[in-house]
Amino acid sequence: MTWNFIFHQNISWDDLEAKQQELIQQVQSHKNEAYLLISEPSPTFTYGRNSNPQELLWSKSELKNKQVQVASVTRGGKWTYHGPGQILIYPILHLPSWGYSSKSVRAFLEDFRTAIREALEKLGCKNLQPQEPFGLYIDNKKLVSFGLAFERTISSHGMALYYSDQSQFFSGITPCGVTHGSTTDLKEKLPQETSWNSVANIVAEAIKNSLSLRLTQVL
């Protein structure tokens, strides 16, 4: 059973999607392999299966001027934004091979979120709370968003941590269908300067350790 960390900064959304599909196919063929796809993509509004077109607030000319792509994704959920200043981490693995039955998706989600929360708290990020829509919040402002997909018990998509201020772009949508929602960012909340790469590595390592622990508990 092995984990692989794959980093892609400054990657286009189309290339990120293609890389994710490549890794899903790898897991389908080699179920003892697991991947954490860690990225910082180009500016993109994405919409899931439950999205409402009216929740995209910017016009075509605004999207063009701000160089923001619009893309559909296979996860559930509604509109969100991904781009520079975010840390996206996608866990791509065959759940039963890592101790999660086909009926334990919620347990997987909770383990995933708890690992991220504990890693951020160790970095000095205080008062993190799990809230709905499913995420991590500080003072009712979202710091980490989640949007996962599961097909044939293989997980894909994942989480977005707002490393730096994202408010300008979130004004272009109604994120997750919540008209009164707002975001915060990690750089504002940490007591000391911590680089994108450092945070990404610390959070990824925490996810790997948490999901690996589940396997040892069921063996």
Q: What's the pLDDT at 178?
A: 57
Containing structural domain, residue 35: 2-218
Encode 85-108: b = buried (16+ Cβ within 10 Å), e = exposed: bbbbbbbbbbbebbbbeeebeeeb
- Domain count of the chain? 1
pLDDT in tens, 184-208: 999 999 988 899 999 999 999 999 9
CATH number at residue 211: 3.30.930.10
The whole-model pTM stands at 0.93
Residue 182's alpha-carbon distances to 40, 63, 68, 114, in angstroms, are 21, 20, 20, 22
pLDDT in tens, 17-42: 999 999 999 999 999 999 999 999 99
Q: What's the pLDDT at 191?
A: 84
Give the active site residue among 176, 186, 206, 207: 176
Encode 198-212: b = buried (16+ Cβ within 10 Å), e = exposed: ebbeebbebbbebbe
Annotation marks residue 125 as catalytic? no
Of 196, 149, 194, 143, the residue nearest 170 (C-alpha): 143
Q: Which residues pair with 137 in a beta bridge?
A: 129, 142
Query: Percentage of residues in the chain with pLDDT exceeding 70?
Result: 95
pLDDT in tens, 47-93: 987 788 899 999 999 999 999 999 998 777 788 999 999 999 999 99
Average pLDDT, the chain: 92
